[in-house]
Amino acid sequence: MRTSWADAVANAESSAAVTSASPSNVAIGGASPSRGGRAAYVPPHLRNRQQSSESSAASSAPAPSIADSPSGIRKPAFFVASDAGGSRRSSGPIRDSVRPSSSGARGGSGGWNSRGAGWDRREREANPFADDDDDAAEAAFNSQENSGINFDAYEDIPVETSGENVPPPVNTFAEIDLGDALTENIRRCKYVKPTPVQRHAIPISLAGRDLMACAQTGSGKTVAFCFPIISAILRGTPAPRQRGSRTAFPLALILSPTRELSVQIHEEARKFAFQTGLRVVVAYGGAPINQQLRDLERGVDILVATPGRLVDLLERARVSLQHIRYLALDEADRMLDMGFEPQIRKIVEQTDMPPRGQRQTMLFSATFPKEIQRMASDFLYNYIFLAVGRVGSSTDLIVQRVEFVLDSDKRSYLMDLLHAQRDTGAHGKHALTLVFVETKRGADSLEHWLCMNGFPATTIHGDRTQQEREAALRSFKSGATPILVATDVAARGLDIPHVAHVINFDLPNDIDDYVHRIGRTGRAGKSGLATAFFNDSNASLARSLSELMQESNQEVPKWLSQYAAARSYGSGSGRSRRTGGGRFGGRDFRRDSSYNRGGGDYYSGGNGYGGGSSGAPSGYGGGYSGAGVISAWD
DNA sequence: TCTACCC
Judge whether A524 lies within some domain: yes
Q: What is the pLDDT of residue A3?
A: 32
| Residue A541 lies in domain | 398-571
Q: What is the pLDDT of residue A519?
A: 86
Task: Find the Å distance, CA of residue A604 to C1' of nucleotide B3.
Answer: 34
Q: What is the pLDDT of residue A53?
A: 39
**Burial letters A7-46, b for 16+ CB under 10 A, else e:** bbbbbbbbbbebebbebeeeeeeeeeeeeeeeeeeeebee
Examine the pLDDT at A99 and tell me if it is beyond 80.
no
What CATH number does the domain containing A564 carry? 3.40.50.300
Nearest to A219 by CA among A273, A285, A146: A146
Examine the pLDDT at A596 and tell me if it is beyond 60.
no
Picking from A173-177, A585-589, A623-627, which range would have the lowest pLDDT averaged per residue? A623-627
Amino acid at A564: A
Task: Find the Å distance, CA of residue A423 to C1' of nucleotide B5.
Answer: 40
Q: What is the pLDDT of residue A429?
A: 63
Nucleotides of B under 7 A from a protein CB: 1-7
A316, closest nucleotide (Cα–C1'): B6
Q: What is the average per-residue pLDDT within A148-158?
A: 54
Q: What is the pLDDT of residue A515?
A: 87
Q: What is the pLDDT of residue A380?
A: 97
Let me know if A438 is exposed, middle or buried by CB neighbors in 10 A (0-12, 13-18, 19+). Answer: middle
Task: Find the Å distance, CA of residue A440 to C1' of nucleotide B6.
Answer: 20
Examine the pLDDT at A403 and tell me if it is beyond 80.
yes
Highest mean pLDDT among A138-142, A286-290, A495-499, A509-513: A286-290
User: In terms of pLDDT, which residue wins out, A470 or A17?
Assistant: A470
> Could you report the per-residue pLDDT of A353-391, keeping only the tens digit for each?
999 999 999 999 988 888 899 999 999 999 999 998 753
Judge whether A147 lies within some domain: no
Task: Find the Å distance, CA of residue A93 to C1' of nucleotide B3.
Answer: 34
| Residue A66 banded pLDDT, cuts 50, 70, 90 | very low
Query: How far, in Å, CA of A579 to CA of A593, rounded?
Result: 14
Query: How far, in Å, CA of A211 to CA of A161, rounded?
Result: 10
User: What's the whole-number average pLDDT of chain A?
Assistant: 74
A38, closest nucleotide (Cα–C1'): B7
Q: What is the pLDDT of residue A245?
A: 83
Q: Which residue is nearest to nucleotide B3 (CA to C1')?
A: A488
Q: Are A362 and A213 in contact (CB under 8 A)?
A: yes
Task: Find the Å distance, CA of residue A597 to C1' of nucleotide B6.
Answer: 41
Judge whether A224 lies within some domain: no
Query: How far, in Å, CA of A505 to CA of A532, rounded?
Result: 6
> Could you report the per-residue pLDDT of A215-231, keeping only the tens digit for each?
765 667 899 999 999 99
Query: How far, in Å, CA of A522 to CA of A366, rounded?
Result: 16
Nearest to A314 by CA among A278, A342, A345, A352: A352
Query: How far, in Å, CA of A54 to CA of A425, rounded?
Result: 58
Task: Find the Å distance, CA of residue A119 to C1' of nucleotide B7.
Answer: 37
A487, closest nucleotide (Cα–C1'): B3
Phi-psi group of A30: left, alpha or beta (phi > 0 → left; psi -120 to 50 → alpha; rest → beta): left
Q: What is the average per-residue pLDDT within A577-601?
A: 53
Picking from A136-145, A474-483, A510-519, A559-568, which range would have the lowest pLDDT averaged per residue? A136-145
Task: Find the Å distance, CA of residue A457 to C1' of nucleotide B5.
Answer: 26
A311, closest nucleotide (Cα–C1'): B6
Q: What is the pLDDT of residue A522?
A: 77
Query: How far, in Å, CA of A461 to CA of A121, rounded?
Result: 37
Judge whether A507 lies within some domain: yes
* DSSP calls for A433-502: EEEE-S-HHHHHHHHHHHHHTT--EEEE-TTS-HHHHHHHHHHHHHTSS-EEEE-GGGTSS---TTEEEE
Task: Find the Å distance, CA of residue A45 to C1' of nucleotide B7.
Answer: 14
Q: Which residue is nearest to nucleotide B7 (CA to C1')?
A: A41
Q: What is the pLDDT of residue A494?
A: 93
| Residue A616 banded pLDDT, cuts 50, 70, 90 | very low
Q: Which residue is nearest to nucleotide B5 (CA to C1')?
A: A308
| Residue A73 banded pLDDT, cuts 50, 70, 90 | very low
Q: What is the average per-residue pLDDT within A538-545?
A: 93
Q: What is the average per-residue pLDDT within A86-110?
A: 35
Judge whether A229 lies within some domain: no
Q: What is the pLDDT of residue A139?
A: 41
Q: What is the average per-residue pLDDT within A101-110?
A: 36
User: In terms of pLDDT, which residue wins out, A633 or A628?
Assistant: A633
A338, closest nucleotide (Cα–C1'): B4
Nearest to A410 by CA among A457, A434, A441, A442: A442
Q: What is the pLDDT of residue A41?
A: 44
Judge whether A29 lies within some domain: no
Domain count across chain A: 1
Task: Find the Å distance, CA of residue A307 to C1' of nucleotide B7.
Answer: 15
Q: What is the pLDDT of residue A587?
A: 79
Examine the pLDDT at A57 and tell me if it is beyond 50.
no
Contacts of residue A37, Cβ cutoff 8 Å, sequence gap at least 6: A62, A63
Query: How far, in Å, CA of A616 to CA of A613, rounded?
Result: 7
Q: What is the pLDDT of residue A388?
A: 85
Judge whether A443 lies within some domain: yes
Q: What is the average per-residue pLDDT within A113-119?
A: 43
Q: What is the pLDDT of residue A312?
A: 97
CA distances in angstroms from A297 to A242, A264, A294, A301, listed in the order given: 10, 22, 5, 11
A39, closest nucleotide (Cα–C1'): B7
Task: Find the Å distance, CA of residue A427 to C1' of nucleotide B6.
Answer: 41
Picking from A315-319, A387-391, A453-457, which range would have the lowest pLDDT averaged per residue? A387-391
Highest mean pLDDT among A98-112, A210-224, A472-486: A472-486
A510, closest nucleotide (Cα–C1'): B2
Q: What is the pLDDT of residue A125?
A: 78
Judge whether A202 lies within some domain: no
Which residues does nucleic strand B approach, with CB less than 7 A? A 28, 32, 40-45, 47-48, 257-260, 284-287, 289, 306-309, 311-312, 315, 338-340, 343, 438-441, 461-463, 487-489, 509
